Amino acid sequence: MRLLRNGESFPKLEIPAVGGGTLVLPDAVRGSFAVILVYRGAWCPFCTAQLAGFAAEKASLDALGVKVVALSVDDELTSSELAARFSLKFLLGHNADADRVSEATGAFTSDSPKYLQPTAFTLTPEGTVMAAVYSTQAIGRLVALDLVKFVSFMKSKLAA
Protein backbone atom coordinates (compact mmCIF):
# COMPACT_ATOMS: atom_id res chain seq x y z
CA MET A 1 0.00 0.00 0.00
CA ARG A 2 1.33 3.41 -0.97
CA LEU A 3 0.83 6.34 1.41
CA LEU A 4 0.52 9.90 0.12
CA ARG A 5 3.50 12.09 0.96
CA ASN A 6 3.75 15.84 1.53
CA GLY A 7 4.02 17.69 -1.77
CA GLU A 8 2.25 15.01 -3.82
CA SER A 9 -0.90 15.79 -5.75
CA PHE A 10 -4.01 14.42 -4.13
CA PRO A 11 -5.41 11.70 -6.43
CA LYS A 12 -8.70 12.11 -8.25
CA LEU A 13 -11.59 10.54 -6.35
CA GLU A 14 -15.25 10.62 -7.28
CA ILE A 15 -17.63 10.09 -4.36
CA PRO A 16 -21.43 10.49 -4.35
CA ALA A 17 -22.38 13.67 -2.45
CA VAL A 18 -25.08 13.94 0.19
CA GLY A 19 -27.92 15.85 -1.43
CA GLY A 20 -27.01 14.70 -4.94
CA GLY A 21 -24.24 15.02 -7.44
CA THR A 22 -20.67 13.86 -7.16
CA LEU A 23 -17.73 15.16 -5.16
CA VAL A 24 -14.75 15.19 -7.46
CA LEU A 25 -11.64 15.52 -5.34
CA PRO A 26 -9.44 17.46 -5.25
CA ASP A 27 -11.30 19.62 -7.81
CA ALA A 28 -14.14 20.36 -5.35
CA VAL A 29 -11.70 22.17 -3.04
CA ARG A 30 -9.13 23.51 -5.49
CA GLY A 31 -8.26 27.16 -4.92
CA SER A 32 -8.60 26.89 -1.14
CA PHE A 33 -6.77 25.23 1.67
CA ALA A 34 -8.74 22.10 2.48
CA VAL A 35 -9.03 19.07 4.68
CA ILE A 36 -10.40 15.76 3.49
CA LEU A 37 -11.60 13.62 6.39
CA VAL A 38 -12.10 9.92 5.83
CA TYR A 39 -14.15 8.47 8.69
CA ARG A 40 -15.27 4.98 9.68
CA GLY A 41 -19.00 5.67 9.82
CA ALA A 42 -21.80 7.33 11.74
CA TRP A 43 -21.76 4.42 14.21
CA CYS A 44 -18.24 5.34 15.42
CA PRO A 45 -18.28 7.70 18.45
CA PHE A 46 -14.70 8.82 17.77
CA CYS A 47 -15.67 9.78 14.21
CA THR A 48 -18.76 11.68 15.26
CA ALA A 49 -16.72 13.56 17.87
CA GLN A 50 -14.17 14.50 15.21
CA LEU A 51 -16.84 15.68 12.77
CA ALA A 52 -18.64 17.62 15.52
CA GLY A 53 -15.31 19.27 16.35
CA PHE A 54 -14.92 20.41 12.75
CA ALA A 55 -18.51 21.69 12.75
CA ALA A 56 -17.77 23.66 15.95
CA GLU A 57 -14.72 25.27 14.33
CA LYS A 58 -16.57 26.26 11.14
CA ALA A 59 -16.17 30.02 11.75
CA SER A 60 -12.41 29.70 12.32
CA LEU A 61 -12.00 27.44 9.30
CA ASP A 62 -14.08 29.78 7.13
CA ALA A 63 -11.99 32.77 8.28
CA LEU A 64 -8.86 30.91 7.14
CA GLY A 65 -10.49 29.91 3.86
CA VAL A 66 -10.33 26.19 4.65
CA LYS A 67 -12.85 23.92 2.95
CA VAL A 68 -13.83 20.72 4.72
CA VAL A 69 -14.90 17.47 3.07
CA ALA A 70 -15.77 14.26 4.91
CA LEU A 71 -16.52 10.87 3.40
CA SER A 72 -17.29 7.31 4.44
CA VAL A 73 -18.80 4.07 3.21
CA ASP A 74 -22.12 4.94 4.88
CA ASP A 75 -25.18 5.17 2.65
CA GLU A 76 -26.75 8.51 1.83
CA LEU A 77 -29.58 8.30 4.37
CA THR A 78 -27.17 7.52 7.22
CA SER A 79 -24.84 10.32 6.09
CA SER A 80 -27.73 12.80 5.81
CA GLU A 81 -28.95 11.92 9.29
CA LEU A 82 -25.41 12.36 10.63
CA ALA A 83 -25.15 15.78 8.98
CA ALA A 84 -28.45 16.86 10.51
CA ARG A 85 -27.64 15.48 13.98
CA PHE A 86 -24.30 17.31 14.20
CA SER A 87 -25.15 20.37 12.03
CA LEU A 88 -22.40 19.51 9.55
CA LYS A 89 -22.22 22.41 7.08
CA PHE A 90 -19.47 21.03 4.89
CA LEU A 91 -19.28 18.73 1.89
CA LEU A 92 -20.16 15.17 2.80
CA GLY A 93 -19.62 12.10 0.64
CA HIS A 94 -21.31 8.73 1.01
CA ASN A 95 -21.07 5.21 -0.38
CA ALA A 96 -17.31 5.53 -0.84
CA ASP A 97 -15.72 2.40 -2.26
CA ALA A 98 -13.34 1.45 0.56
CA ASP A 99 -10.95 -0.49 -1.66
CA ARG A 100 -10.79 2.25 -4.28
CA VAL A 101 -10.20 5.01 -1.69
CA SER A 102 -7.58 2.86 0.03
CA GLU A 103 -5.78 2.13 -3.23
CA ALA A 104 -5.72 5.82 -4.21
CA THR A 105 -4.82 7.33 -0.84
CA GLY A 106 -3.31 4.61 1.33
CA ALA A 107 -6.15 4.80 3.86
CA PHE A 108 -6.32 1.65 5.96
CA THR A 109 -9.45 -0.49 5.88
CA SER A 110 -11.27 -2.98 8.06
CA ASP A 111 -12.12 -6.31 6.49
CA SER A 112 -15.41 -7.39 8.04
CA PRO A 113 -17.41 -5.29 7.80
CA LYS A 114 -15.56 -3.33 5.14
CA TYR A 115 -15.00 0.32 6.01
CA LEU A 116 -12.23 2.91 5.96
CA GLN A 117 -10.12 3.74 8.99
CA PRO A 118 -9.75 7.43 9.98
CA THR A 119 -7.51 9.34 7.63
CA ALA A 120 -7.09 13.06 7.00
CA PHE A 121 -5.37 15.04 4.28
CA THR A 122 -4.63 18.74 4.53
CA LEU A 123 -4.31 20.19 1.02
CA THR A 124 -2.84 23.34 -0.44
CA PRO A 125 -4.98 25.47 -2.77
CA GLU A 126 -3.23 23.68 -5.65
CA GLY A 127 -4.44 20.28 -4.41
CA THR A 128 -1.15 18.97 -3.06
CA VAL A 129 -0.78 17.24 0.29
CA MET A 130 0.53 19.47 3.11
CA ALA A 131 -0.01 16.82 5.79
CA ALA A 132 -1.48 13.34 6.03
CA VAL A 133 -2.74 11.62 9.17
CA TYR A 134 -3.25 7.86 8.91
CA SER A 135 -4.74 5.62 11.56
CA THR A 136 -5.16 1.86 11.69
CA GLN A 137 -7.92 1.98 14.29
CA ALA A 138 -10.53 4.30 15.84
CA ILE A 139 -8.02 6.58 17.60
CA GLY A 140 -5.23 8.76 16.24
CA ARG A 141 -6.89 11.38 14.08
CA LEU A 142 -6.72 15.04 13.06
CA VAL A 143 -8.41 17.47 15.46
CA ALA A 144 -10.06 20.65 14.15
CA LEU A 145 -8.18 23.00 16.50
CA ASP A 146 -4.86 21.52 15.39
CA LEU A 147 -5.80 22.12 11.77
CA VAL A 148 -6.72 25.74 12.51
CA LYS A 149 -3.31 26.30 14.15
CA PHE A 150 -1.46 24.44 11.40
CA VAL A 151 -3.06 26.35 8.51
CA SER A 152 -2.60 29.66 10.36
CA PHE A 153 1.08 28.87 10.82
CA MET A 154 1.56 27.76 7.20
CA LYS A 155 -0.22 30.85 5.85
CA SER A 156 1.94 33.14 7.99
CA LYS A 157 5.04 31.31 6.79
CA LEU A 158 3.98 31.77 3.16
CA ALA A 159 3.28 35.48 3.72
CA ALA A 160 6.74 36.08 5.19
Establish if 6 belongs to a structural domain.
Answer: no
The helix/strand/coil state of 85 is helix
The answer to whether residues 62 and 154 touch, using CB atoms and an 8 Å cutoff, is no
CATH code at position 48: 3.40.30.10
Residue 159: per-residue pLDDT: 81
- Stated pTM of the model: 0.97
Residue 1: per-residue pLDDT: 72
Number of structural domains in the chain: 1
Euclidean distance between CA atoms 92 and 75, whole angstroms: 11
Euclidean distance between CA atoms 53 and 94, whole angstroms: 20
Q: Residue type for 50, please?
A: Q
Q: Residue type for 131, please?
A: A
Residue 67: per-residue pLDDT: 98
Q: Any bridge partners for residue 9, and if so which?
A: 128
Establish if 5 belongs to a structural domain.
Answer: no
Residue 134 belongs to what domain range?
Answer: 13-159
Does residue 72 register a pLDDT over 80?
yes
- Using pLDDT thresholds of 50, 70 and 90, give the confidence band for residue 44: very high
Tens of pLDDT along 110-159? Answer: 999 999 999 999 999 999 999 999 999 999 999 999 999 999 999 998 88
- Mean pLDDT value across the chain: 97
Establish if 65 belongs to a structural domain.
Answer: yes
The helix/strand/coil state of 119 is strand
Does residue 160 register a pLDDT over 80?
no
pLDDT above 90 coverage of the chain, percent: 96
Establish if 46 belongs to a structural domain.
Answer: yes
